[in-house]
Structure 1
Amino acid sequence: MTLSKQEDFQNKGVLKLSNVVDVEMLADVQTHLWQEVHRKFDIHLDKPSTWFSNVNNPIGDARAKRLNGMGSIMRELKAAGKLDDIERAIQPVIDQIFVDHTWRPLDLWYSLLSFPGSESVWNVPHKSWHCDEPAVVGDAKPWSLFVFVFLDNVTADMGATTVISGSHRRAERLAKTLGTSNNEELINAFSSVNSGLYESPKDVTLLPMDQVLDPLIQEDPWFQKLIQEGSPDQRIQRFIEEGNSLHGIEQKVVTLTGTAGDIIVFDPRCLHTFSANVSNLPRQVLRLDFRRQI
């Protein structure tokens, strides 16, 4: 049986869609983005010697380096209308697939631009796994959809975001036994995407983001190994190629890779982290979030 794209997304929490955005449109955005990076940081895309020689505040660790201050650049591009055509290309695709609800883009775009770190061999990451939204009992849909937009070809060795497909369903299952109510403060913290979804927020039972990983580690040897160091060959074989199944839920580590014009729709309740950029190229990806409407 062939699953629909929406059913596939519901099972995995990750959906790749090819050739959604015109590459010429992306090239124009890419040009403006690098002009602003040059202006603000004195960094040239084609001159690796400038990538960090003039920057005092990169963020990240040995795996990859990102720049503080990209938020202001993205806000300026949005205000100048440089991102409008991309939004208009993505919106009908979201409408066609996710027909159960109406989804609308937020005003804020994110740059996931990252530069090579100090590691030389790519491996499945073992740390910094986290979720970006809680799992709500009785609500199978996320509050928002993260849409990753590839400005250029991105391969795993360029520090791709790394996701555990199916982990949002594991979180939903845990929420039924470990979830608590009286989470108004947490719900209010996400008001930009969940406002109006619940008549009585104080009665909503949910599992906070920081309470997902530990129970999975306790009940599942696969997750126990995930957070331990190991050789690249063994970890790629176990977590990406083989995966695992428990409670009827299949899970695998998936790298968010693609070519210019592709998008990936991602459920923020899935566990994810960033990986090492061991290439000699920056990872050029943007992210736009869509809010679920009432």
Structure 2
Amino acid sequence: MTSTSFSQLKAFQKTGFLKLSNVIDVKKITHLRGQFWHEVNNKFDISLSNPSTWFRNSSNPVGGSGAKRLNGMGPMMRDLKASGKFDAIEEMMQSAIDPIFSDYTLRPLDLWYSLLSFPGSETKWNVPYKSWHNDEPIVVGDSNPWSLFVFLLLDDVSVDMGATVVVSGSHRRAEQLAERIASPDQEAAIKAFDSVNSGLIDDPKNTRLLTTDNLLEPLTQEDPWMKALVTESTPEQRIKQFVQEGGTFNGIEQKVVSLTGSAGDIIILNPRCLHSTSANVSRLPRQVIRLDFRRSV
């Protein structure tokens, strides 16, 4: 492992996320974005360059006031994957992450996810107080996640475009909590994640887990900063407290960070981190797709 890869790994282990710049060159990104929107236009009659088409169908895009998503993107993404149009991009992403996570093998799963979101009705960006969650159980004694979420930015993504927000260091807070309250005999929870943890659990009956449903409440009960995070307050208060100032609990620094970047960047996220969606107030679609990489022995 090079010194650069080592420092990148340490940064990821500390914060739970890592941005790698210019992984996919502009020409390839432009081509991929064109293919993506060609399919969106064919399936949904929506054109990126014609905003009047974005909400022509009153039942799609769907969502709340913060941002709207296209319903029914799964089949389109499966078709794009099956066509081989993502293959070269996957290889470039694999080559970028392998040197950093060289202690184990990572392999892409079969499905890409579209995180395309359109503007909602909100006009002022705020740190969300709802929908904070993690997507993978916390395993006592195994700090390496079963999988990695890798976001590919198809365009420049700024905070006001509704970028995914993450609480930096929250996976480490979750590990501290799991050490104290996680229970064994979680075979059902392990089985629910068969697609990513197969072969990684030697003794399911005695593996101690903190499930995704049981993380947020105890965190908010013991940490006033976390409690405030899930309590509604003004944008000015929330941006100051959570983005600018952050907090510290049990020696771990916490701050809300927006996963922003430029077209062609990739952002690697530990799915055990607390994260959420934020409002797209930019009046532009947020063009991001996600590929999950499974860890294997």
Q: CA deviation at 1:278?
A: 0.4
Gaps of 5+ in 1: none
Matches within 5 A, 1:65-104: 65-104=68-107
Note the alpha carbon deviations across 1:31-66, whole angstroms, 9 max, x for none: 111111111111111111111212524332110000
Hey, what does 1:236 align to over in structure 2? 239
Gaps of 5+ in 2: none
In structure 2, how many angstroms separate the alpha carbons of the residues matched to 1:116 and 1:263? 22
Of 123, 126, 139, 1:123 maps to: 126
In structure 2, how many angstroms separate the alpha carbons of the residues matched to 1:95 and 1:223? 33
Hey, what does 2:141 align to over in structure 1? 138
Hey, what does 2:182 align to over in structure 1? 179
* 1:264 is the counterpart of 2:250: no
Note the alpha carbon deviations across 1:185-232, whole angstroms, 9 max, x for none: 111111111001112211110100111111111111101111122221
Identical amino acids, percent of aligned pairs: 61
Indicate the larger mover: 28-37 or 274-283.
Answer: 28-37
In structure 2, how many angstroms separate the alpha carbons of the residues matched to 1:286 and 1:36? 14
In structure 2, how many angstroms separate the alpha carbons of the residues matched to 1:143 and 1:161? 20
In structure 1, how many angstroms separate the alpha carbons of the residues matched to 2:154 and 2:293? 19
Q: CA deviation at 1:239?
A: 0.4
Structure 1 letter corresponding to 2:207: V
In structure 2, how many angstroms separate the alpha carbons of the residues matched to 1:92 and 1:158? 28
In structure 2, how many angstroms separate the alpha carbons of the residues matched to 1:55 and 1:191? 38
Q: Is the 8 A contact 1:136 1:207 kept in 2?
A: yes
In structure 2, how many angstroms separate the alpha carbons of the residues matched to 1:261 and 1:55? 32
Hey, what does 1:283 align to over in structure 2? 286
* 1:30 is the counterpart of 2:33: yes
User: How large is the Cα RMSD of the aligned pairs?
Assistant: 1.4
Of 30, 54, 66, 2:57 maps to: 54
* 1:148 is the counterpart of 2:148: no
SS in 2 for 1:217: helix
Indicate the larger mover: 143-152 or 57-66.
Answer: 57-66
Hey, what does 1:19 align to over in structure 2? 22
Name the count of aligned residue pairs: 294
Structure 1 letter corresponding to 2:77: M
Q: Is the 8 A contact 1:41 1:55 kept in 2?
A: no
TM-score (norm 1): 0.97
Of 225, 229, 233, 2:228 maps to: 225
